[in-house]
Amino acid sequence: MKILVTGAAGFIGMHVSLVLLARGDRVVGLDNLNDYYDPTLKEARLARLTPHPGFRFVRMDVADRAGMERLFAEEGFDRVVHLAAQAGVRYSLQNPHAYIDSNIVGFMNILEGCRHNRVGHLVYASSSSVYGGNTKMPFSEHDSVDHPVSMYAATKKANELMAHTYSHLYGLPTTGLRFFTVYGPWGRPDMALFLFTRAMLEGRPIDVFNHGRMRRDFTYIDDIVEGVVRTLDRVAEPDAGFDSDRPDPGRSQAPFRVFNIGNNNPVELMSFIEAIENALGIRAEKNLLPLQDGDVPATFADTDELDAWTGFAPATSVTDGVSRFVAWYREYYGHV
């Protein structure tokens, strides 16, 4: 198939593109290579894709309406994997406009491109952040997600609503994937694993929020990619048993689905730090701080729906995943 992967120079986008290319798909990778974090890391990821004969890179912002219209019209994509977004909960408190431009305007351009050019299936990144103020664990796609606690979360919830509208009005099959704390080699420098590893290797203390009383459903990158590709291959369908009197937020009479992709095994932040310490052979000096605005104390994914739909559930242990990240970090940055 010919597949558009947006955010192809990003953490998840690079890994997804490599798997699609390895199985013989043609990939057009789109990215704006912005400076939200170190662009040289994005360029290094891109350098792993460009040697593949089935890959072509387009440097463009998804918010570029005219450019996106041209791209869709000229390329004739079979499927779209939309991973480009302004990421980060904390940054959304400082620069909310960036989230509207990328996550709302950009997603609108993706939907319009898919609608007008007969794309067979749109798979897009949502986030565990949509669960916001929910406290019932594990988080389920059947639960209401109407109380976001950050602008980032609000834009991801909006993406799900926008996707449903296009599935309903135009029959566009859409699948939203709520990612839970993705980590692994080539990861984002603004994420805890990257920040902690760098600080510990440089002999600096690490900032531990909520005084360490955090639990996260850390999900290894290879598991995320497997979930993305499997859902891409199983096109969203209308739910014949959908009850409009008791609507299920995760499905619809339209070809629309939403799935959690998480490890279904929340880990205490202190245990996660201990895994990093063991992989590095360094004890961390911890700077204990209160919970930050927009953050939540715990995440925990119910993955039964993903398993039932694709036959897959993430299962990589934090010990294995962290060890692989640390090995990559040492090699990439030259730390021994």
User: How much is the pTM?
Assistant: 0.95
Whether 87 has a pLDDT exceeding 90, the answer reads no
Q: Is the dihedral of CA 302, 306, 309, 313 positive or negative?
A: negative
Q: Is 166 a catalytic residue?
A: no
Choice between 327 and 94, residue whose per-residue pLDDT is larger = 327
Q: Decide if pLDDT at 48 tops 90.
A: yes
The one-letter amino acid at 326 = V
Residue range 96-147, pLDDT digits in tens:
999 999 999 999 999 999 999 999 999 999 999 999 989 899 999 999 999 9
Residue 212 pLDDT: 85
Burial class (CB in 10 A: 0-12, 13-18, 19+), 278: middle
Task: Summarize the confidence of residues 19-23 as an average pLDDT.
Answer: 98
- The one catalytic residue in 36, 91, 124, 152 is 152
Higher pLDDT, 83 or 150: 83
Of 203, 324, 306, 220, residue with least CA distance to 260: 306
Quick one: pLDDT at residue 91? 80
**What are the structure tokens assigned to 33, written together?**
């290579």
pLDDT computed for residue 164 by the predictor: 98
E strand spans, 224-266? 256-261
Mean pLDDT of 197-220: 92
* Per-residue confidence band for 315, with pLDDT thresholds at 50, 70 and 90: confident
* Residue 336: pLDDT over 60: no
| pLDDT given for residue 265 in this prediction | 87
